[in-house]
């Protein structure tokens, strides 16, 4: 059984928030609600800034605060086991994330990512100043299925995130919380490699996060699919 959201009393009423406010004194009211429901699975704006060594502009911060998901959506994210994290102040592709002094990404992926025809590493980006809501684990029931079967599991409000979005979520969580997600499993993403097969992200060991490829027609017990909640984003 899943635990009650960290800071809500029975019936969904917000309870004492002192425990969470003391962890991050820069929380807005909307961020406080997100932290109250999602707990450690909500990464605040100041936590993201510190983890990636940048600062949002005043307008960017205001827009992100205004577009924190509503109460009902936050409950959905908690129930589905999603991490909610703001993206950075500019677009980033996978190579840029790797170059961002990010030791969390495993080095053995470097040569494969750098191949001439691996266009997804530049084309697929984490778009700036948006909220990402990505599952912490493979979609329930998606293991040991081929890609077409896995795609059919997603609900109407979900989409398959690209490799950069999954990588950004996982590495941000590791930087902020010090915890590795997708330890012994990998997830298919919407990115495709030079052979037009799905790019997978996972196998998060002490050495880092691995990025590779797996055939869409095949299945393995350790390969599932990632999903993210579609949100109403404000483009800046």
Digit-coded pLDDT (tens) for 191-231: 999 999 999 999 888 778 889 999 999 999 999 999 999 99
Q: What's the average model confidence in pLDDT over 93-102?
A: 79
As a residue count, the chain comes to 236
**CA distances to 87, 138, 198 from 226, in Å:** 18, 5, 11
Task: Give the mean model confidence (pLDDT) for residues 101-117.
Answer: 66
Q: Are strands 198-205 and 208-214 parallel, antiparallel or unpaired?
A: antiparallel
Helix boundaries (H) for the chain: 18-21, 29-38, 45-52, 58-66, 71-80, 94-99, 110-113, 120-123, 147-151, 163-177
Per-residue pLDDT averaged across 98-105, rounded?
66
> Looking at the predicted structure, is the pLDDT value of residue 110 above 70?
no
For β-strands 208-214 and 125-126, DSSP reports them as unpaired
The whole-number pLDDT of residue 11 equals 40
Distance CA 203, CA 187 (A): 9
| pLDDT tens digits for range 113-137 | 777 788 999 999 999 999 999 999 9
Beta strands 42-43 and 82-86 are: parallel
């Amino acid at each position: 059984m899943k635990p009650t959201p960290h800071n809500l009393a029975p019936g969904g009423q917000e309870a004492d928030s002192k425990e969470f406010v003391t962890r991050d004194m820069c929380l807005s009211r909307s961020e406080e609600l997100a932290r109250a429901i999602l707990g450690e699975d909500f990464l605040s704006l100041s936590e993201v800034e510190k983890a990636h060594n940048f600062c949002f502009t005043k307008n960017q911060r205001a827009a992100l605060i205004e577009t924190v998901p509503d109460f009902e959506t936050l409950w959905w994210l908690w129930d589905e086991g999603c991490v909610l994290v703001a993206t950075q102040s500019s677009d980033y592709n996978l190579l840029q994330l790797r170059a961002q002094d990010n030791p969390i990404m495993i080095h053995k992926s470097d040569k494969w990512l750098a191949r001439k025809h691996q266009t997804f590493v530049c084309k697929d980006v984490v778009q700036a100043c948006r909220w990402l809501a990505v599952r912490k684990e493979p979609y329930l029931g998606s293991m040991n299925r081929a890609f077409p079967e896995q795609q059919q599991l997603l609900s109407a409000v979900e989409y398959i995130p690209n490799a950069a979005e999954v990588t950004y979520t996982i590495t941000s969580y590791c930087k902020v919380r010090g915890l590795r997600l997708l330890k012994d499993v990998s997830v298919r993403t919407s990115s495709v490699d030079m052979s037009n097969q799905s790019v997978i992200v996972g196998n998060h060991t002490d050495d880092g996060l691995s990025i590779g490829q797996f055939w869409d027609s095949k299945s393995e017990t350790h390969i599932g699919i990632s999903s993210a909640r579609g949100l109403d984003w404000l483009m800046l």
